[in-house]
Chains A and B, each alone.
Chain A
Amino acid sequence: MTRHVSPRLPAYAAVAAAALLAALVLGRVELVALAAPFALAAVIAPASARHPELRGTLALGRDRALESEVVDATLTLTATSDEVVDVLLELRPGLATDVDNPRALALSAADPRTLELPLRCVRWGAFVLGPALVRAHDRLGFYAWEGRIGGREPLRVYPSVEALHALLPPLETQVFVGNQVSRAKGDGIEFADIRAWAPGDVPRRINWRATARRRELWVNEQHPERNTDVVLFLDTFTDVHAGGRGTLDMTVRAATSLAQRYLQRKDRVGLVSFGGVLSWLLPASGTRQLYRIVDSLLQMDIVLSYAVRDVDVLPPRALPPKALVLALTPLIDARTPPGLLDLRARGYDLVVVEVSPVPFVEPEGDELAQLSYRLWRLSREATRARYQLAGVPVVEWLDGVPLNVPLEEVAAFRRFARPARA
Chain B
Amino acid sequence: MTLAVGSTVLYGGVLVDVIAHASKAIPATGALGAAGALLLLVALARADAGLVAWPVACLGTAYGIALVVQGRSTDGAAPLVAVGLFLCAELAAWSIDERLAIRAERAVLARRATALGALSFASLAVAALVVVLASAPVGSGLAWVILGAASAVGIVGIAVSLARRI
Contact = CB atoms under 8 A, between A and B. Distances in A.
B133 to A, nearest CB: 8
B86 A29 contact: no
B86 A7 contact: no
Contact of B89 (A8, A39, A86, A104): A8
B49 to A, nearest CB: 6
A44 interface: yes
Contacts of B60: 15, 18-19, 31, 34
A18 B148 CA distance: 13
Contacts of B149: 24
Contacts of A304: none
Interface in A1-58: 5-24, 26, 28-44, 46
Interface in B57-109: 57, 60, 63-64, 67-68, 74-75, 78-79, 81-83, 85-86, 89-90, 93-94, 97, 101-105, 107-108
B21 to A, nearest CB: 10
B32 interface: no
Given A10-B166, A21-B152, A34 B53 contact: no
Most buried by A among B81, B85, B107, B162: B162
Contacts of A17: 152, 155-156, 159
A141 B148 contact: no
A402 interface: no
Given A8-B49, A37-B83, A106 B111 contact: yes
A104 B158 contact: no
A18 to B, nearest CB: 7
Contacts of A19: 60, 64
B134 interface: yes
Given A29-B130, A140-B115, A24 B148 contact: yes
Contact of A7 (B49, B67, B81, B104): B49
Contacts of B112: 84, 139-141
Contacts of B25: none
A209 interface: no
Contacts of A20: 148, 151-152, 155
A385 interface: no
A104 B130 contact: no
A84 B83 contact: no
A5 B166 contact: yes
B138 to A, nearest CB: 12
Contacts of A140: 90, 112, 115-116, 119
B92 to A, nearest CB: 10
A106 B155 contact: no
Contact of B64 (A8, A14, A31, A106): A31
A103 interface: yes
B20 interface: no
Contacts of B46: none
B166 to A, nearest CB: 5
Contacts of A8: 49, 52-53, 89, 93
Contacts of A139: 111-112, 114-115
Nearest to A141: B97
A193 interface: no
Contacts of A15: 53, 56-57, 60
B64 to A, nearest CB: 6
Contacts of B127: 32-34, 36-37
Contact of A38 (B86, B110, B128): B86
A43 B78 CA distance: 21
B145 A35 contact: no
A104 B106 CA distance: 9
Contact of B108 (A10, A23, A31, A84): A84
Question: Which of B81, B97, B119 is the most central at the interface, judged by chain A CB atoms within 10 Å of its CB?
Answer: B119
B119 A37 contact: yes
Interface in B121-166: 122-124, 126-128, 130-131, 134, 145, 148-149, 151-152, 155-156, 158-159, 162-163, 165-166
Given A100-B103, A106-B108, A140-B112, A36 B126 contact: yes
Interface in A349-376: none
Best-buried of A17, A23, A37 by chain B (most CB within 10 Å): A37
A32 B151 CA distance: 10
A163 B131 CA distance: 83
A58 B112 CA distance: 28
A102 interface: yes
A105 interface: yes
Given A15-B57, A30-B78, A33-B130, A6 B64 contact: no
B103 A42 contact: no
A9 B86 contact: no
18 contacts: A7-B49, A15-B53, A15-B60, A17-B152, A17-B156, A20-B152, A22-B64, A26-B64, A28-B67, A31-B67, A34-B127, A36-B123, A37-B82, A37-B126, A46-B165, A104-B105, A106-B107, A106-B111
Cβ-closest 6 pairs across A and B: A11-B53, A37-B123, A13-B159, A37-B86, A29-B134, A30-B78
Interface of A: 5-24, 26, 28-44, 46, 84, 86, 100, 102-106, 139-141
